[in-house]
Amino acid sequence: MSTLLRRGDGRISFEEFSAAVTTNGYPEPSHSTYWAFLNSARNFSIFEKQELAMILAHFIHESKGFVERREEVDMESYPESYRDAECDVPGQLYYGRGYFKITGCKNYRDISMSLYNDDKLVKEPELLAEDDETAINAGFSFWKTNVHDQPGVQDGQFGVTTNVIKGALECKGPNIPIAKRRFEIYEKVRTAFKLKGKAIEGGCYELSEFLKLASNSKEPKD
């Protein structure tokens, strides 16, 4: 049983990693994806298995099981919220790329500085979706900068991580079921990782609000 992480409780075998993906209904990941994940975890000093399970759950959700590295978007459908006149390079689009579907020029710039110590990804954003290693490193970089130190994350509050990543879109209103789906993926990752205890759902939506939405969706329409 091969492992790479040596600190904390972050030892993850390929069998566990693979089961985390396949039990969520996606194809078996490659060994190169597995090693890229573990190497990135080590490089960004994230060693706790519970936190790695949360990261992996978001990777699985955003990339459909390490299958997609690009958001489906073109010039006509490019969201205004992605535009930033102070950062954008003419002719480049900063739509979701990588396994975390990183969006917006400033996020590309921050990740580029973290990975390369320059603005390479601002000038060539397509590089972010070029291969497993870059796509995974970008996700870990975003997590370490924006999610890792948020109150509740180290206590295992999965909803907090969703709130940071997609809170404006998924933690309220009609998209709450998408956030719920993320949590369901996380539960299966925890099982695959053989983590003890119950997954903590809080930090994004109120469960009562989700149940209300689910109930309304089942009501017959006129």
Give pLDDT, residue 207: 60
End-to-end CA distance of the chain: 57
Q: Which amino acid is at 6?
A: R
Question: pLDDT truncated to tens, each residue of the chain (222 aa)?
Answer: 344 555 445 689 999 999 999 999 999 999 999 999 999 999 999 999 999 999 999 999 999 999 999 998 877 888 898 999 999 999 999 999 999 999 999 999 999 999 999 999 999 999 999 999 999 999 999 999 999 999 999 999 999 999 999 988 999 999 999 999 999 999 999 999 999 999 999 999 886 554 454 455 544 554
Query: CA torsion, points 56, 60, 63, 66, in degrees to nearest 10?
Result: 80
Report pLDDT for 41.
Answer: 96
Number of Cβ within a 10 Å radius of residue 140: 28
**Residue 205 has which token pair?**
């939506």
Instruction: Indicate the SS3 state at residue 102.
Output: strand
pLDDT for position 152: 96
Written as one letter, the residue type at 194 is K
Question: Taking CA 80 as the corner, what is the angle to CA 75 and CA 85, rounded to the nearest 5 degrees?
Answer: 95
Which amino acid type is present at position 130? E
Judge contact between 163 and 172, C-beta under 8 A. Answer: no
Task: Give residue 8's pLDDT.
Answer: 45
Domains of the chain (ranges, CATH numbers):
1-67+149-222 (1.10.530), 68-147 (no CATH)
SS3 assignment, position 125: helix
H or E element at residue 107: helix 105-116
